[in-house]
Amino acid sequence: MDAQNETGANRAPASWWQTGVIYQIYPRSFQDGTGDGIGDLPGILSRLDYLADLGIDAIWVSPIFPSPMADFGYDVSDYVGIDPLFGTVEDFDRLVTAVHGRGMKLLLDLVPNHTSDQHVWFRQARASRDNPKRDWYIWRDPAPDGGPPNNWLSEFGGSAWTLDAASGQYYYHAFLDRQPDLNWRNPQVVAAIHEVMRTWMRRGVDGFRVDVIWHLMKDAEFRDNPENPAFAAGMNPYARLLPQRTTDLSEVQDVIAGLRAVVDEFPERLLIGEIYLPVERLVAYYGAELKGVHLPFNFALLDTAWNARALDRLITTYEAALPPGGWPNWVLGNHDRPRIATRVGPDQARVAAMLLLTLRGTPTLYYGDEIGMANVPIPPERIQDPYEKNVPGLGLGRDGVRTPMQWDDSPFAGFSDVEPWLPVAADFSEVNVAAQRGNGHSMLTFVRRLIALRRAHPALLVGDYRALAAQGDLLLYVRTLEGAERVLVALNVGPDPLVATLPGTVGEVLLSTFCDRQDERISGEIALRANEGVIVGVAAGAVLPE
C-alpha cells in the first residue's frame, strides 16, 4: 500500500504501524513487579492500562532474553528464552495476551549482529578451530607482528579484535569483547536467526526492532578502515576511523531482504531497523521494491540543531529522499541518547512533542518523555554502563537516560519498594505520573490530548505534508488529506513571542502546547507565545500561503 499517494474516500486502510504511536520500554527501568529493584515483565503488565489510556498503539520492549548483562541484555545468551531477571515465558505469554486484549501490539528487540560470549554457539565456536560452530563467528589469524588482524575499532573503545589464547586466533566484536559478532555470510547463522524470529511471532509477537542492523555485514577481505580526516582530540575514539569496511555494506541489503521475507510469512508484522546513517543512506534500507525494513529508524531529530530553519531543512530533505511508497518515521529519544527535555529544555520539550506527533509518519515515544523526564546525573560509584566505563570522560554514558520511570512521589518514585538499580531523579516528587494526571496543563495531559487529536484527524494520521514559508523561529506546515481536511501546525522554536501572518480566516485552534486556546478562531495571523505550538483545524475554503 502506498499510504502517501492514496487520498480521501479511495484511500485503502493504512497498516496499524503507519497510523500508530510506538512506545519504547526499557524493561529494567519501567516498573519493578517483583521487589528486586529492577523492572520486569510483571511490572510492565501492571502498567498496561496507563499505556492504553495514554493512547499508545504498540509497545517496543528492549531485550528481555537470557543474558549475562554485560551490556544489559544486548549480549544475548539464548534467543528463545526469557531472562529470570525479567520473569518467565509464562509471564511473557500473559503480557502478549494482555497487550492484545487492550488493542495494542507488542514488538521485541532482535539482536542478530552479535551474541554473548556465553551463548552456547560461541562456547562451541571457541572450543576448537574445527568445531562445526567455528564459522558462525568471525575469526582471523594474527597480523605478522602478532597483533590484531587489521585496524577495525570497537564502538565501545579499543580494538574490535580479541585474542582467543587457546586457539591462537582473534575474534571480531563491534562492541564489547563479550559480544562476539555473528558471521552473516554463513547460511546456517541466517537460518538460525530466521527461526528465532518465527518462534517469537508464533508466540504472538507483532514485529521486531532490529539492533544495529547496518553492522550485519563486514568486508570479506578484512581491509583496514580509512582514517577520518575530521577526527580531533576530545571526540569519541571510535570516530578516528571511517567504518567503511564494517558498516553499511551494500551486501547488507540482501540480509535484510531475508529478514523481511520471514516477517512477511506472518500477517501484519512489522520490521524496524536501528540505523544511524545520514538520510540519503538511511532510505536505502527500505530495500528494493520496499522489501527491506518497513521503518528504517530516522534518528535525525536527535542530532539536528534545534532551530526552526534547521528542522525545516531536515524535514524537507527527508521527505524528498523517501522512495515512492516509503513510509516516514520520527524519533526524539531512546535508551542510547540524551533525553529531549534535557537537550532542548522543558519548555521546548512540549514543542518537540507536538512536532513528533504531527509530522507525517510513525512516531516513537521513549518512556518518560511524556512526563518530561530529564537526564539524571549518575554518581561515579553507581555507573553501570560499560560504554561509560570503557570510554570515560567524554559524556558518552547512557545510564542517565535509563533511570526508573517516575510514577508518583512515594519512595523510589513508585517504581519499586527497594533501592532501584539506578538512582531516581531528584525532581521525581514533582515530575511524576500521579502529579501530572490530574493537572489539566501538565506535560502528560498535553501528550495524551495530542495523541488523541492525532487519532481523531485523518489528515494527521495519513495526510500529506507541505511546508509553508516561514522565517526565524517559526516552523509552519500543513497536513492535508484531499477531500477530507487540512490541519495547520505552527511551532515557535524559540524563547520569544512571534506572529505568523496568514491570509484571511484560517480556522480554529485544536490544541496549544499550553493546553489552552481551545476553539480560538484564527484570522489573519497566529500570535504564538514563547515556546508555544498550536494546531489549527483549517476551515473549508481558507487559503494558505505557499
Residue 152 has pLDDT above 80, yes or no: yes
pLDDT at 13: 64
| Cβ-contact 292, 285 below 8 angstroms | yes
Query: 477-495: buried (b, 16+ CB within 10 Å) or exposed (e) per residue?
Result: bbbbbeeebbbbbbbbbbe
The predicted-structure confidence for 85-134, as pLDDT tens digits, reads as follows 999 999 999 999 999 999 999 999 999 999 999 999 999 999 999 999 99
| Cβ-contact 274, 212 below 8 angstroms | yes
Residue 181 has pLDDT above 60, yes or no: yes
Q: In angstroms, rounded to a whole number, what is the distance separating the alpha carbons of residues 270 and 362? A: 12
Residue 544 has pLDDT above 90, yes or no: no
Whose CA is closest to 6, among 508, 481, 484, 398? 481
* Beta strand 161-164 pairing with 169-172: antiparallel
Whose CA is closest to 318, among 372, 358, 281, 355? 281
Q: Given the C-alpha cell 531497523, which residue does it identify?
A: 273
Handedness of CA 183, 188, 193, 194 (dihedral sign): positive
DSSP-based three-state secondary structure for 474 = strand
Residue 26 has pLDDT above 90, yes or no: yes
Residue 9 — very low, low, confident or very high, per pLDDT cuts 50/70/90?
A: very low
Handedness of CA 179, 185, 189, 194 (dihedral sign): positive
State the DSSP H helix or E strand holding residue 272, giving kind and residue range, or none if neither. Answer: strand 270-273
Crossing angle between the packed helical segments 187-202 and 252-263, to the nearest 10 degrees? 30
The predicted-structure confidence for 360-370, as pLDDT tens digits, reads as follows 999 999 999 99
Q: In order of start, what are the domains of the chain with their CATH numbers?
A: 8-113+187-215+270-451 (3.20.20.80), 120-172 (3.90.400.10), 463-538 (2.60.40.1180)
211 a catalytic residue: yes
Distances (CA, A) of 338 to 251, 302, 367, 481: 32, 8, 13, 35
Catalytic residue among 32, 206, 211, 274: 211
Q: In angstroms, rounded to a whole number, what is the distance separating the alpha carbons of residues 72 and 160? A: 19
Residue 147 has pLDDT above 50, yes or no: yes
Query: Average pLDDT, whole number, for the chain?
Result: 96
**Residue 68, phi then psi, degrees to nearest 5:** -70, -10
Distances (CA, A) of 128 to 132, 172, 179, 358: 9, 16, 19, 55
Q: Given the C-alpha cell 539536528, which residue does it identify?
A: 304
A 10 A CB-CB count for 294 gives 23
Crossing angle between the packed helical segments 346-358 and 443-456, to the nearest 10 degrees? 10
Residue 5 — very low, low, confident or very high, per pLDDT cuts 50/70/90?
A: very low
Residue 383 has pLDDT above 90, yes or no: yes
Whose CA is closest to 407, among 421, 425, 422, 419? 425
The structure's pTM equals: 0.96
Catalytic residue among 195, 227, 265, 417: 265
The predicted-structure confidence for 434-452, as pLDDT tens digits, reads as follows 999 999 999 999 999 999 9
Residue 12 — very low, low, confident or very high, per pLDDT cuts 50/70/90?
A: low
pLDDT at 4: 37
| Cβ-contact 33, 82 below 8 angstroms | no
A 10 A CB-CB count for 129 gives 13
Q: In angstroms, rounded to a whole number, what is the distance separating the alpha carbons of residues 536 and 483? A: 17
369 a catalytic residue: no
Whose CA is closest to 115, among 158, 185, 171, 163? 171
Residue 3 has pLDDT above 90, yes or no: no
